Structure 1
Amino acid sequence: MGAVDIILNYFSRSSIVSIVVLGWLSLYFILSFSILLSRMSGLSLWYKAERDSLESLVRGSIRPSIGSSLSKCANSGENINEKKLRICLLMAQKRATSGLAWLSVIASTSPFIGLFGTVVSILETFAGLGNGANSSLSVIAPAISEALVATAAGILVAIPAYSFNILLKRRSYELVSVIEQQVDLLSVRGKSELDA
Structure 2
Amino acid sequence: MFQTFTAFYDKSNPVTLFVLLVLSLYFIAVNWVFFYRLFSLNQWINTENQSLESLLLGSRQIPDYAYLRHFTASSSHLSAALFDMASYAATKESTKGLMMLSVVASTTPFIGLFGTVVSILDTFKHIGGASGTMSIIATGVSDALVATASGIFVAIFAYTYHQILKRKAYELSGLIRMQGDALLSKEV
The answer to whether TM tops 0.5 is: yes
1:78-89 equivalence runs, <5 A: 78-89=76-87
Q: Which amino acid aligns with 1:108?
A: S
Of residues 91, 94, 104, the one that matches 1:93 is 91
Length, aligned pairs only: 188
Note the C-alpha offset of 1:43.
Answer: 0.7
Partner of 1:25: 23
Note the C-alpha offset of 1:77.
Answer: 7.6
Instruction: Give the structure-2-normalised TM-score.
Output: 0.93
| SS of equivalent to 1:64 | coil
| SS of equivalent to 1:60 | coil
Partners of 1:19 and 1:7 lie apart in 2 by 12
1:20-99 equivalence runs, <5 A: 20-75=18-73, 78-99=76-97
Note the C-alpha offset of 1:129.
Answer: 2.2
Of residues 149, 153, 156, the one that matches 1:152 is 149
1:126-165 equivalence runs, <5 A: 126-130=124-128, 132-165=129-162
| SS of equivalent to 1:113 | helix
Partners of 2:75 and 2:112 lie apart in 1 by 58
After superposition, give the CA deviation of every residue in 1:65-101 in whole Å (9 maximum; x if it has no partner): 2221111111188232432322121111011111111
Query: Could you list the runs of 5+ residues in structure 1 that have no partner in the other structure?
Result: none
Partners of 2:82 and 2:44 lie apart in 1 by 20
CA contact (8 A) 1:119 1:147 kept: yes
CA contact (8 A) 1:57 1:182 kept: yes
| SS of equivalent to 1:74 | helix
CA 87–76 in structure 1, closer or farther in 2 if over 3 Å, else same: closer
CA contact (8 A) 2:87 2:177 kept: yes
CA contact (8 A) 2:51 2:62 kept: yes
